Amino acid sequence: MAAYTENSASASNGAGTSGSSTTSSGSSTATTEKSVVKPFAAGVKNNSPLEDLVRSALVRAGNFSPSRIDGEVMMMMIELANRVIDEIRKNPYWEGGDIDYFNDPTECRAIPDMVMIDGLTAHYLLQQGSDKAMVFLQMYQTNLFDTLHYLSHGNKPYTFKIKDGGSNRRYS
C-alpha cells in the first residue's frame, strides 16, 4: 500500500471488501473499496482527506466544535496523524511498506478511515489529559490490530504447526 496523495495515482484496498467483477462481455474490471466513513469526501480516492478525519475525531472527542478548527489545531492534528502513521509502520501486521507523512490536511493516505479517526481521537484526548483518553486508546489499539490483521491474513482460522516434535506423542 503506497501513500496516496492528492496528485498521485496509486490506489489501495482498505479494510473491507474489494475484488473484481465481470461485465456482460466477459471482461473483468477491478473494483476497489471506497472510504467507509466519508465516501462523499473521498470522491474518486479510496480514503478520506485528513481534514475530514480530523473533524470526525474532534466530534468524537466531544470537547471541541469542529466548525472552530483553526490553523494551529490543524497543525497539531497533522502531528498526531503522523504519530498514527508511525504506529502503523511499527505494527507486526502491517505489510503495506512505507507510508509518507502528512504535510497538508487535504492529503489522503492508504490507511483505513476508522483507524485514522480512532488514532487521532485517542492521541488528541491523551494530549488534552482527558479522563476518556484510556478508553479511546484501547479502542484505537484494538481496531488497529484487528484491521491490520484482517488486511494481512483475511478472516481465516488460526492453524499451528509443531516444529520440534513436541513433548506429546500425539504431535508427531
What is the per-residue pLDDT for 39?
52
What is the per-residue pLDDT for 46?
77
Q: Who has greater pLDDT, 159 or 169?
A: 159
What is the per-residue pLDDT for 25?
43
pLDDT digits (tens, 9 = 90+) for 54-74: 988 988 888 667 677 788 888
User: Which range has the top average pLDDT, 1-5, 22-26, 103-107, 161-165?
Assistant: 103-107
What is the per-residue pLDDT for 149?
92
What is the per-residue pLDDT for 67?
72
What is the per-residue pLDDT for 28?
39
Judge whether residue 6 has pLDDT over 50: no
Please give the average per-residue pLDDT across 77-90, as a whole number. 94
Whose cell is 465516501? That residue is 39
The three cell numbers of residue 23 are: 461485465
Which amino acid is present at 165? G
Neighbours of 156 (CB within 10 A): 7
Please give the average per-residue pLDDT across 37-47, as a whole number. 59
Judge whether residue 34 has pLDDT over 90: no
Domain definitions of the chain by residue range:
46-154
Burial 79-111 (b: 16+ CB within 10 A, else e): ebbbbbbebbeebebbebeebeebeebebbbbb
